[in-house]
Amino acid sequence: MDPTCSDCGYDYRTLSNDDASSTLVHEVADTVRTLRYRRQTAPTPDGSWSALEYAGHLRDVLIVTRERTLHALREESPAVVTMGADDRVRRGEYANLSYFQTTAEISEAARRLAATWNRLSTQDWARTLRYNYPTPAIRELSWLAAHIVHEVVHHRSDIERLTTARKAVSLSPDYGAPWGLWSSNPPRPSPPASTELLTPANFGFPDSVVVRLRTWLDAWTANFADAPSDDQHTWRRGFDVAGWLHEGDALADLIAEALPDYTVERQYRTYAANAVRRTP
């Protein structure tokens, strides 16, 4: 087979075993950003998958690849059972996906696969399986890694072709993100080379909003993010989570008011599902 993809230009020879995990995580992060900050606005062309169908496919590719990798480690050249990519689309497996949920699932699947790849020795990478695509052949796990990174890169360009950038800001407190503000196209962009995370200055929020946002983020840090060693992130017992979500909604409304042509994504709401700690 040709070592470079005639469509997206990916070169199968560029990935080393040592770089497989970090490259996967990096390429998946790029693809996740593409999915978060773009939306399909035109109908899907005949014979193509939609952007969300590509996203669902990618998630499942990452999930089955970890299983196939582990299978090849415990058996000699096992035959891969085809995942039936088109069949999954036809059966509506990806019919009700959301961009937000699917990107979270893609990131999680990539993290698990990368962790498995990280544990492989040189001998492990030379283990083989009988792979069906693009043509039936015995492949080493190192080839499989390059193939999967190619899937991520290739489908990112498929998704880009089907979508356009949208103006959106998401409100999502996160570790190491001082303001919990995320956007690929803020009204006042940072200098091109800047690696700083976005701040209220990128959006021109009124001072009153900035002060309220700071208080709300500090409450998250003090009552949720302060026990990062727990297996599951949890809320401090006795903290008024419903009140915190309510204030988040009020802030999201204020942000929407300040940025009328932006969509405000209320990603902080996902924290509502986290448990409360057993101990105070």
Instruction: Provide the CA 39 distance to its chain's centre, in angstroms.
Output: 15
> CB 35 → Zn ion: shortest distance, Å?
18
* Chosen residue from 4, 5, 33, 112 binding Zn ion by CB under 5 A: 5
Contacts of 146 (CB under 8 A, 6+ apart): 12, 13, 14, 15, 20
Nearer Cβ to Zn ion (132/234): 132
Shortest-Cβ-distance residue relative to Zn ion: 5
Residue 10 binds to Zn ion (criterion: CB under 5 A): yes
> CB 55 → Zn ion: shortest distance, Å?
17
The span from the CA of 279 to the CA of 221, in Å, is 18
* Chosen residue from 1, 2, 7, 122 binding Zn ion by CB under 5 A: 7
The span from the CA of 279 to the CA of 3, in Å, is 56
* Chosen residue from 8, 70, 95, 177 binding Zn ion by CB under 5 A: 8
* Phi, psi (deg, nearest 5) at residue 270: -65, -25
Count of residues that bind Zn ion according to CB under 5 A: 5
Which among 165, 150, 164, 162 is positioned nearest to 54, based on CA atoms? Answer: 162
133-162 positions binding Zn ion, by CB under 5 A: 154
Nearer Cβ to Zn ion (131/224): 131
> By the 8 A CB rule, do 274 and 237 touch?
no
Residues that bind Zn ion (CB under 5 A): 5, 7-8, 10, 154
